[in-house]
Amino acid sequence: METSLVFFPQLNMCESKEKTFFKLIHGSGKEETSKEAKIRAKEKRNRLSLLVQKPEFHEETHSSKSGHLAKETRVSPEEAVIWGESFDKLLSHKDGLETFTRFLKTEFSEENIEFWIACEDFKKSKDPQQIILKAKAIYEKFIRNDAPQEVNLDFHTKEVITKNITQPTLHTFDAAQSRVYQLMEQDSYTRFLKSDIYLDLREGRPQRPTNLRRRSRSFTCTEFQDVKSDVAIWL
């Protein structure tokens, strides 16, 4: 009996020491594990981004509603033909703008049209405070280095905007908007006219589900307090 009374407390002490040691081991590794986890997560996102672009990925996920968009429109073939006459006519038509945006999402370049729309809204601003806040919103979203939706601009254009962003005018983004417009017109628009999205509309065929990546958060000037936008949601 005496032996058992001595033996069990010793076991409890050993067990307590083991638990303490286990906690210390895990506690000391938290910082390192956290860094490794971030690196692995970044690598995983990069792999997933490449995977989404592969045709076989879209075939395997054809039944997934989250990865597709089959939007019904009332666009007539005649209207679609007009879109093919010029890029300006495409963007000036509400359904044309929406359809082109849907196409850009399949090419992972919707930031271009979102930036163009943001600039169009910005130029309608009248209140000086609104101009400052909207300009800041556009700069943070599309212009600054490593912006969430950074558009492709030459160094000079970006530098001029950066220098003047503290005292913006309605023309602050004119050069950048013109540059992005030209890029879309000469590059994306040409491919759009050859895409199934456009050809199905022009020929009056039923629209097919469109493979899309995760929908990016649409830019709204209301992200900043007291900023009023002429459109509640850009896209």
Give residue-wise pLDDT tens across range 107-143. 999 999 999 999 999 999 999 999 999 999 999 999 9
The dihedral through the CA atoms of 208, 211, 217, 220 has a sign that is negative
Which amino acid makes up residue 2? E
pLDDT category at 173 given cuts 50, 70, 90 is very high
What pLDDT sits at residue 114?
A: 98
Is the pLDDT higher at 232 or at 123? 123
Residue 71 makes CB contacts below 8 A (sequence gap 6+) with: 98, 102, 207, 210
Q: What mean pLDDT do residues 46-73 have?
A: 41
Is 212 a residue whose pLDDT tops 80? no
Give residue-wise pLDDT tens across range 80-104. 999 999 999 999 999 999 999 999 9
Query: What are the backbone angles phi and psi of residue 78, rounded to the nearest 5°?
Result: -65, -40
What pLDDT sits at residue 48?
A: 43
pTM, two decimals, is 0.61
What pLDDT sits at residue 218?
A: 40
Is the pLDDT higher at 20 or at 123? 123
What pLDDT sits at residue 183?
A: 96
Superfamily of chain region 77-203: Regulator of G-protein Signalling 4, domain 2 (1.10.167.10)
Is 2 a residue whose pLDDT tops 70? no
Is 16 a residue whose pLDDT tops 60? no
The pair of three-digit structure tokens given for residue 139, joined into one six-digit string? 């700069």
What pLDDT sits at residue 226?
A: 44
Give dist(CA 127, CA 226) in Å, integer: 12
- How is the chain split into domains, by residue range? 77-203
Give dist(CA 109, CA 104) in Å, integer: 5
What pLDDT sits at residue 208?
A: 74
Q: What mean pLDDT do residues 156-162 have?
A: 97
CA angle 95, 97, 98 (to 5 degrees): 65
Three-state DSSP class for residue 27: helix
Q: What percent of the chain has pLDDT over 90?
A: 54
Q: What mean pLDDT do residues 37-64 have?
A: 45
Which range, 32-46, 54-68, 70-84, 220-234, is most confident? 70-84
